[in-house]
């Protein structure tokens, strides 16, 4: 059965809401929505200030994070496989008066020649790609990269996996810290933090401003 990307884009975006049926189910709402909002908070902390920075949002969906960054002064480029998600993102950018700061592209990110940027963000895109090395070979010129990947051994992965398969027709892939360090070995500075559900990977092609970064990052459980 063909994937309904318009429905999928809207469905993913609804996870930010506290008023969906998923959010009413104990643990499931936190597993789906909580991890997403945590990622966004940590991505903001990682950036420090967005003002004047060029940012790339991998798997931007309907543009929620890219538009937030633009409102804070960034120039943002969002990429997503869903044509309908990109259309909605462009409509939202126009409605917010941010079209000059936000560019959105429908594309398979494993095959994109990306522009230069100051910071790259993965707030839940790479976890849906079976072999993310296909994307990483395009990141050789990246200076700062924030990525979030699911922790393999958390029990909440079971309801998350069932929900994704049954209601969104997708799956996701989980990781250990060893997996992540191997995948990102080309980066000179790899910082990995974990809360109960996610790994947060802060990656640099040169040594990071570690002290300032740690003071900005929310504490992990």
Question: In total, how many domains does the chain have?
Answer: 1
Whether residue 161 is contained in a domain is answered as yes
Whether residue 110 is contained in a domain is answered as yes
Provide the pLDDT for residue 156: 66
Domain coverage including residue 24: 5-124+137-216
Tokens of 179: 């997996």
Whether residue 129 is contained in a domain is answered as no
Residues of the chain with pLDDT below 70 are 1-35, 140, 155-170, 206-221
Provide the pLDDT for residue 171: 73
Whether residue 130 is contained in a domain is answered as no
Provide the pLDDT for residue 93: 97
Q: How many whole angstroms separate alpha carbon 54 and alpha carbon 188?
A: 21
Provide the pLDDT for residue 161: 66
What's the pTM? 0.79
Please state at what angle helix 5-14 crosses helix 83-95, rounded to 10 degrees: 50
Burial label, 71 (beta-carbon count in 10 A; 0-12, 13-18, 19+):
middle
Output the domain CATH number for residue 145.
3.40.50.150
E runs forming strands in the chain: 54-58, 75-80, 102-106, 119-122, 144-150, 189-194, 198-204
- Please, which residues have CB within 8 angstroms of residue 185's CB and are 6 or more apart in sequence? none
Whether residue 183 is contained in a domain is answered as yes
Whether residue 113 is contained in a domain is answered as yes
């Amino acid at each position: 059965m063909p994937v309904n990307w318009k429905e999928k884009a809207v469905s993913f975006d609804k996870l930010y809401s506290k008023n969906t049926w998923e959010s009413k189910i104990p643990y499931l709402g936190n597993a789906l929505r909580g991890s997403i909002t945590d990622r966004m908070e940590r991505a903001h902390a990682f950036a420090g200030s967005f003002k004047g920075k060029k940012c790339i949002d991998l798997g931007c969906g309907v543009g929620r994070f890219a538009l937030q960054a633009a409102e804070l002064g960034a120039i943002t480029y969002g990429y997503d496989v869903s044509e309908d998600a990109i259309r909605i993102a462009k409509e939202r950018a126009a409605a917010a008066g941010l079209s000059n700061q936000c560019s959105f592209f429908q594309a398979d990110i494993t095959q994109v020649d990306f522009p230069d940027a100051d910071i790259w963000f993965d707030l839940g895109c790479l976890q849906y790609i079976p072999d993310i090395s296909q994307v990483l070979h395009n990141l050789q010129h990246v200076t700062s990269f924030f990525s979030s990947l699911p922790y393999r051994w958390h029990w909440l992965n079971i309801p998350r996996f069932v929900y994704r398969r049954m209601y969104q027709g997708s799956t996701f892939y989980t990781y250990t810290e060893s997996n992540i360090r191997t995948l990102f070995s080309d980066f000179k500075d790899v910082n990995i933090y974990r809360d109960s559900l996610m790994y947060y990977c802060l990656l640099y092609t040169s040594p990071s401003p570690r002290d300032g970064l740690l003071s900005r990052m929310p504490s992990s459980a």
